[in-house]
Amino acid sequence: MLRRVAVCALPLIVFAAAAMAGGERMPEDMLRGLYAQYDVHAHPQARHVDARALMTPQLAHAYAKVTRAAAGEAPALDWDVFVNAQDFDVQHLNLSILPAGKDEMVTAAFDNLGQPVTVIYAFAHTPAGWRIDDIRYPPDRMFPKGFSLQAFARRAS
């Protein structure tokens, strides 16, 4: 009898585990949702970024710290880190995923106001699901050695 119950319950357990795993948002889905807000033609209203829902707790804390301004001053991070600019109209988003064991790297390439932009996201799989653990830019004119939000936040402290 116990064996029959176990045989009948096993498919239900497997189905429930698969359903729960399927409910988790994958990194590329998170970024598609984020960047959809940056298309001014589709979403002319102000965008909303919930750092706690997108980032690891450590990065969300660092992000909050560098985007908060003292009275009468600009914050240390005075541009939108997701588009590497202050103004935006994101078009032609292309995401490239590089699995790295329990982590993933996702490169977002797009045009912002007609200029090509590349933003690299390091994702970590946390108990709460996938979260951004760092936001990086490859070397360019503004950041000859590249950019890392984690490193920027440490220096700004």
List per-block mean pLDDT (blocks of 10 residues) for the chain, which spans 157 residues.
38 35 81 89 70 94 91 89 92 90 90 95 94 96 94 89
Separation of alpha carbons 52 and 46, rounded Å: 19
pLDDT in the model for residue 72:
84
pLDDT in the model for residue 125:
92
Instruction: Give the tokens for residue 149.
Output: 């939000």
pLDDT in the model for residue 22:
52
| Total structural domains within the chain | 1
pLDDT in the model for residue 43:
65
Residue 16 lies in a domain: no
Residue 59 lies in a domain: yes
pLDDT in the model for residue 136:
97
Tell me how many helices (H) and strands (E) the chain has: 5, 5
Residue 68 lies in a domain: yes
- Bridge partners (DSSP) listed for residue 120: 107, 136
Residue with token string 């004119």: 141
Separation of alpha carbons 22 and 40, rounded Å: 31
